[in-house]
Amino acid sequence: MQFSRRALLPLAAGAALISAPRIARPETYPSRPVRVIVALPAGSGTDVLARIMAQWLSERLGQSVVVDNRPGAGANIGTEVVAKAAPDGYTLLFTLLANAINQTLYTGLPFDFVRDIAPIASVCTTNFAMSVNPSLPAKTLPELIAYAKANPNKIAMASFGNGTLPHVFGELFMMMSNVRMLHVPYRGNFMPDLLSGQVQLAFTSLPSSIAFIKAGKLRPLGVTTAKRSDLLPEVPAISEFVPGYDASAWNGFGVPQGTPAEIIDKLNAAITAGVNDPGIKKRFAAVGAEPMPMMPAQARKFTAEEVAKWAKVIKFAHITAQ
């Protein structure tokens, strides 16, 4: 039996469809465990927050989300891991204020935080307070400013070392209020010396100091956030006397630059849902954190502003890494 060429064409086309290799479809993200790099030690406040979010993301994404602590070099070691990771959404960085500070504080870093890490979501802030030993004569912030101007460098201000949050928060205050205090950097915990009066002042995180404040062992003269804190509503914000002052620790998520937009959007949606969840809010409050959700574009703008803000402080105070 013979077939015409016209009759054979449909059969040939069908055979071609059957024998042609299937076009590969992109895998549904995530199809394997996701790693969250925390650049601080296990058990730190940042680590606790990261683990709260990792548990939420595991449930939300349907894959294991594992916290991997990579501390060292002022949070630079863990950050470098993510900066050099594949941009596939499987390695996330739990970002923190130190990342923005380190951009200027350190020279010769093997990565650029702004260039190499894409902020995808903001998570929360942690409030700080200007805490003084009760032996200090100043009982209010205006009194402290007047005392500091009359006695330059007489007030000893403790910190965990050059460029740490208590240091830069203090330098921002001195820059904006035109006072000078004596910076006393510690390599360990300064709290015993603050409580004993060996040093008179420190910018302390509320989770670490609120018990001493409630017991009357420390006197809070102002909280560092732009508005009053729900944890200490009776304490004024520093900005009420130093207009524009605003400083707080913050955390968020970042991924290597080049990560596909659809993955960033999916992660942001899952993270934002967690930050707005009543159960997560309650767990944040227990460790002194307040939710601060942002869309990717907002997170990128916020991060860029923080890098620029703290660069000015570091340059003004001539801060160098220890």
Q: Is the pLDDT of residue 35 over 60?
A: yes
- Tell which wins on pLDDT, 28 or 15: 28
Domains of the chain: 34-126+248-317 (3.40.190.150), 128-240 (3.40.190.10)
Q: Quote the pTM value.
A: 0.88
Q: Is the pLDDT of residue 17 over 80?
A: no
Lowest mean pLDDT among 52-56, 100-104, 226-230, 317-321: 226-230
pLDDT at position 238, please?
98
Both tokens of 256, joined, read 């290597």
The model's pLDDT over 237-291, given as tens digits with 9 standing for 90+, comes to 999 999 999 999 999 999 999 999 999 999 999 999 999 999 999 999 988 899 9
Half-sphere exposure of 78 (CA within 13 A, CB side): 26
Q: Are 290 and 125 contacting, i.e. CB atoms less than 8 angstroms apart?
A: yes
How far is Cα 28 from Cα 312, in angstroms, rounded to an integer? 43
> Under DSSP, is residue 317 helix (H, G, I), strand (E, B) or coil?
helix
How far is Cα 227 from Cα 110, in angstroms, rounded to an integer? 37
How far is Cα 207 from Cα 61, in angstroms, rounded to an integer? 30
Q: Is the pLDDT of residue 21 over 60?
A: no
Q: Are 220 and 194 contacting, i.e. CB atoms less than 8 angstroms apart?
A: no
The model's pLDDT over 103-138, given as tens digits with 9 standing for 90+, comes to 999 999 999 999 999 999 999 999 999 999 999 999
